Structure 1
Amino acid sequence: MDKQEQALGLLQAAVESMGGQVRPGQQEMVKHVVEALDEERHLLVQAGTGTGKSMGYLIPALAYAQTSPKPVIVSTATLALQSQIVGRDVPRLLESLKGKLSRPMDVSLLKGRSNYLCQYKLGGGYPDEDEGALFSMDEKPPASGTVYSPLANEVMKLREWAEHTETGDRDELVPGVSDKAWRQVSVSAMECLGSQKCPMADECFSEMARARASEADVVITNHALLAVSAFEGLNVLPDFDVAIIDEAHELQDRVTSSVAGALSARMVLTAAGGAKRHCAVNVDELTKAAHRLEKSLTGIPTGLMDKGLPEEMGIALNDIVEQSRLVLALTKPEANAPADGGRQTARSQLQAIMDDAIRMLETEERREVLYTTRPREFVDGRGYVESDPGTPATLNVAPLSVAGKLREGLFDGRTVVLTSATLAIGAQFDSVAGSLGLMGAGAPSWEGVDVGSPFDYPKQGILYVAKHLPKPGRQLSAETLDEIEELITASGGGALVLFTSKRSAEEAAEILRPRLDAEILCQGEGSMKSLVEQFAADRDSCLFGTMTLWQGVDVPGDSCRLVIIDKIPFPRPDDPISKARTEDIARHGGNGFMQVSATHAAIRLAQGAGRLIRSVNDKGVVAVLDSRMATARYGTFLKGSLPPMWPTVDKKTILGVLKRLKP
């Protein structure tokens, strides 16, 4: 029996055991993945909604791992999907394949170090994140009637959980705790003392997770760890020859954000204060450098710094590098010095600001992007606006492209399978392939295949473009609000309404609640999980939200019979990385708008429209309230990324359809 037949046999056994149905697209995916692994050729495989792509790659991964000396790495964009695969998909699959594999298979979960409880920090080996947050809690509960702060209560809850958890994984703590509380019991990779120095290394949950991963057949991780492995060459993952990247349409953005750096005067002052407090060293000159940086960042416009560093800012960064290097040299611990969490934290902060300052000074040589940001705050009547320009900005640095580093750190010498429901645009994979390093001179060979979807989109869905509406602006127009009202009234609810900004979602919910009979749920008014569950349970409710909902909602049935998209999800005009990439492509003779903004929008549109049809019985309408989809030259390109639903611009027809869909 050849490898494809063996894998298809495992798929058949799993499907029968779970009471499912054979899906041709899933079979095609299994065959292509097996062939790619066998021939050591990179593969991009688009598997539409309903294909069952997780099983389509997990079965080939398990079949391959039976005889591989190294684990297969499976990477996802989000911790949520990572946990779903390990907590639900893999156990069900392994149970269904009992006796069908040559030996029992071990699948392990691996996250970044800060996702695990640190035993040494919990025991007081590190200084408190906030002075007094942990206070001096006795091992036994104090006298009844004692009132603690919410943070202290959360930390006590974490201490109790630490007594019986076997993994120390934050996601296993239900209900969870705030980020502030979790920081009291966790450390970053830089703050960690390391297994050679930590007195509690034998009980370290992070090290135990890495040990399990090194012995596993398949390791489920995320794009952030993959980015650290590819860009920084650190051994955060076990050595591997095969990687399968799920949600691969997210890889470029996730990698970019994972390896971006940021520097502000406050961060430098915090590092200086930590060094003074925990290392007893003079930091006056470093403090002066921080104030020089603060002065240079005050009043400066936010956005892309396409003309490079101003002289004053460059001088401040050079001073920060020199002074950080000097303080690090003065605080270097002796070889046999006892573990000191405070010193390690202080030195890690110094190292981080020095490394980022060096990157910022070398952006031209590194082909990196410099830009400034300020926090955004909610202001009544104005929505989310940027802080006052008089507030010192934060200086940021990010790679202009991740293609070269991914080619070198991920694809070179390995076999990589990339999959998603949205990888191709108009049957072409070139755009995603190019952004990840698979195009151009010296690029490795690869194959792109679309295994389709089991859904009959022309019969199950209608794509309505509101051609008559005015071109959308920054604010929600009255015409757009009226259109949303008419569509929801016709459908009787059951609408997922996707906005490109949080401000628009909240404004629309506030204005339309008095005008509609249907209940309107809005992102931010509850946990995402509870909102989606409520939306699914009440078939006539509506859910308004932003980008998280564009990709995170799976509600089959008539609870989601209408998906409304307020406008084409182009990157924000002031997004510095998109702007820099657009300008760079234009300088090299390409069409920056189409390759960056339009491609970004096409993939996001496909993700949003994909919320509608989630099963073979679903029917409904996707309504795009952006007339440019029908009038602009790039409209055809954008529509080419969407499922092949029946198209119309006739509002009367759509209102009639929605009334008939009303339960």
Structure 2
Amino acid sequence: MLAIDALEGIPVLPEHSAVIIDEGHELVDRATAAVTSELNVPMIERALSRGRKHIDSRTYEMLQQAGEDFDDCLRLAAEPLAGPTQLKPVGSDVTLALTVIRDACHQAITEINADKESKDPESLAAKQHARGAIEEVHDTAGALLAGDDFDVIWLDPGEGRSPSLKLAPLSVAGLLREALFAKSPVVMTSATLTVGGGFDSLVASLGLSDEQVTTMDVGSPFDHAKQGILYVAKDLPAPGREGVAMEALDELAELIEAAGGRTLALFSSWRGVDRAAEYLRVRLDSRRFPLLVQKKGDSVGSLVQRFADDHPSTLLGTVSLWQGVDVPGESCIQVIIDRIPFPRPDDPLLSARQRAVDEAGGSGFRAISVPKAGLLLAQGAGRLIRGASDRGVVSILDSRLATAGYGRALRASLPPFWYTTDRATVLTSLTRLRDELDSRD
């Protein structure tokens, strides 16, 4: 609602003298999503369906043909692509199809506005819906045609769905500054606003200067250094593109065994979840170590509840479990993270933002990828200590956190656990905690 009110200029919020934003670390991503334009054939077909009774048959046929040509162009361009890809420049055939779509929609809107015969409420409502759907296609096609060097246009192949052409601004900092921060005081809160122990990355992403902001870190009610251990598996090979390495799977199994289950294992991809599940089903005794595996489409709430109710269980999951999972007590004494969650290198928008920083003389990797990874890493590690009596270990199976130059900044983004790279120490600590909890049952 805030994005609609501030960025799209549609007043949906009541009058206010200040804005308070919880989970403020998500503001840039939410704002980007709000101003991202997308055009695909289902949108055009929906506009045609709603407008059929209200526009001339020739206009209908022109828009229908333009939609088919647009679909053909996108499918042809998507054939060699493995994933979303920036189009720079947009092909002349796509540009022509967009132009015809925009012009046909303009004609259709003119015809709908000229229709004075619809007077009953039902007909007026149908006409309004038709105009709204056609205006959406018209405005999106126009935005795609007007895109410049400050915009990123990319093709999403769809993976079983219709391909889409998308556009987003290279930066939303200016939009946020003008539409939000310049209008009223803004308070942003979150447990993960800092990266590397500071607010610099957040302030820069919002397009603000240090003089324009006041920052405060109120700390945590928990004593992380006494309640938890941060273990980085320094001796493992660095993760590669082939997925979770066998050495990491062996370490994963030994850590789960030492903890007696009671483990939330977070992976950066579905492929990692599936590979780990396949390995653990063979390696671990399912009666002693029940395994819960997240699948696409699963209800996160019910899955987490099963994990909380079954103390010896281990839950394997991906992105949706990195945030918001709250399992205090002995059901979760260990969080394992398979690798540093850097953004996908094929993300066209983030890649373009990184290149822009590089071209300006900075480091796009450190300005874009490291902060995003740090925030998500902190969210994942934050699943461990949920109460004053909780204890446990965050185990990260990515040696780069200990060896790479950016590792220190990422570790500083995490809660201040006691830090070690000694595997034997961690296994001993987990075993002692497991035995203590088992003795209570």
| Structure-2-length-normalised TM-score | 0.91
| Cα distance in 1, alignment partners of residues 117 and 76 from structure 2 | 46
Residue 130 of structure 2 corresponds to which residue in structure 1? Answer: 346
C-alpha contact 1:491 1:661 (8 A) present in aligned 2: yes
Report whether the alignment pairs 1:520 with 2:291.
yes
Q: 1:484 — aligned with what?
A: 252
Q: What residue is the counterpart of 1:299 in the other structure?
A: 76
One of 88, 102, 123 as aligned partner of 1:321: 102
| Alpha-carbon shift at residue 344 of structure 1 (Å) | 2.6
Identity across matched positions, percent: 45
Residues 17, 185 of structure 2: 8 Å contact kept: yes
Counterpart CA distance in 2 for 1:601 and 1:342 is: 47
Distance in 1, Cα, partners of 2:117 & 2:8? 26
In 2: Cα distance, 1:503 partner to 1:346 partner: 42
The Cα of 1:336 is off from its aligned counterpart by: 7.5
Distance in 1 (CA, whole Å) between partners of 2:35 and 2:264 is: 33
1:260 to 36, 54, 61: 36
Alignment of 1:358-437 (within 5 A): 358-364=142-148, 367-376=150-159, 387=160, 393-437=163-207
Amino acid at match of 2:261: G
Cα distance between partner residues in 2 of 1:615 and 1:630: 28
What is the one-letter code of the residue matched to 1:521?
L
Q: Is 1:310 the counterpart of 2:91 in the alignment?
A: yes
Deviation at 1:621, TM superposition (A): 0.4
After TM superposition, the structure 1 = structure 2 runs for residues 52-67 of structure 1, keeping only pairs within 5 Å, are none
Provide, for residues 547-596 of structure 1, a one-character-per-residue CA deviation record: whole Å limited to 9, x for no partner: 11111211111111000000000001111111011011111112110111
What residue is the counterpart of 1:473 in the other structure?
Answer: 240
**1:488/1:278 Cα in 2 relative to 1: closer, same or farther (>3 Å)?**
farther
1:584 aligns with 2:367: no
Amino acid in the other structure paired with 2:198: Q
Aligned to 2:61: 284
* Residue number in structure 1 paired with 2:393: 621
- Candidates 197, 216, 239, aligned match of 1:449: 216
**Map of 1:500-515 to 2, 5 A cutoff?**
500-515=268-283
Deviations 1:522-561 (A, max 9, x none): 2238421111112112221111111111112111111110
Segment drifting more, 562-571 vs 345-354: 345-354
Structure 1 residue 392 displacement after superposition: 6.2
Distance 1:326 1:278 in 2: 12
Aligned to 2:225: 458
Structure 2 residue aligned with 1:493, among 244, 248, 261? 261
Aligned residues of 1:228 and 1:234 also touching (Cα < 8 A): yes
Seen in structure 2, the aligned counterparts of structure 1 residues 310 and 498 have a Cα distance that, compared at 3 Å, is same
Tell me the amino acid that sits aligned with residue 565 of structure 1.
I
Relative to structure 1, the CA distance from residue 392 to residue 451 in structure 2 (aligned partners, 3 Å threshold; closer, same or farther) is closer
SS at match of 2:72: helix
1:632-656 Cα offsets, whole Å, 9 max, x none, are 1111111110111111111111111
Q: In structure 1, the residue corresponding to 2:70 is in which secondary structure? A: helix
Structure-2 residue corresponding to 1:573: 345
* Whole-angstrom CA distance in 2 between matches of 1:329 and 1:449: 54
Unaligned segments of structure 1, at least 5 residues: 1-224, 377-386
Cα distance in 1 for residues equivalent to 2:100 and 2:343: 35
TM-score after normalising by structure 1 = 0.61
Contact kept, 8 Å, 2:84 with 2:157, in 1: the verdict is: no
User: Contact (CA 8 Å) 2:310, 2:331: kept in 1 or not?
Assistant: yes
Q: Establish whether residue 598 from structure 1 lines up as the match of residue 390 from structure 2.
A: no
For residues 565 and 335 of structure 1, what CA distance do their matches in structure 2 show? 63
Q: What CA distance in whole angstroms lies between the structure 2 residues aligned with 1:270 and 1:233?
A: 25
| TM-aligned CA deviation for residue 259 of structure 1 | 2.1
Return the structure number with greater relative CO, CA threshold 8 A, min gap 6: 2
Give SS of 1:450's match.
Answer: coil
Once residues 402 and 646 of structure 1 are traced to their aligned partners in structure 2, the CA distance between those partners, rounded to angstroms, is 37
Q: Which residue of 2 aligns with 1:4?
A: none
* Cα distance per residue 1:372-391 (max 9 Å; x no partner): 11233xxxxxxxxxx5xxx8
Whole-Å Cα distance in 1 between the matches of residues 245 and 128 of structure 2?
54
Q: Which range moved further: 421-430 or 507-516?
A: 507-516
Alignment partners' CA distance in 1, 2:48 and 2:335: 51
Q: How many residues align?
A: 422
Which residue number in structure 2 is paired with residue 337 of structure 1? Answer: 119
Select the residue among 17, 22, 38 that pairs with 1:241.
17
For residue 515 of structure 1, report the CA deviation from its aligned partner. Answer: 2.4
Distance 1:336 1:494 in 2: 65
Distance 1:506 1:550 in 2: 17
Instruction: Determine the C-alpha separation between the residues in 2 that align with 1:246 and 1:430.
Output: 19
Is the contact made by 1:262 and 1:394 (CA closer than 8 Å) also made in structure 2? yes
What does residue 336 of structure 2 align with?
564
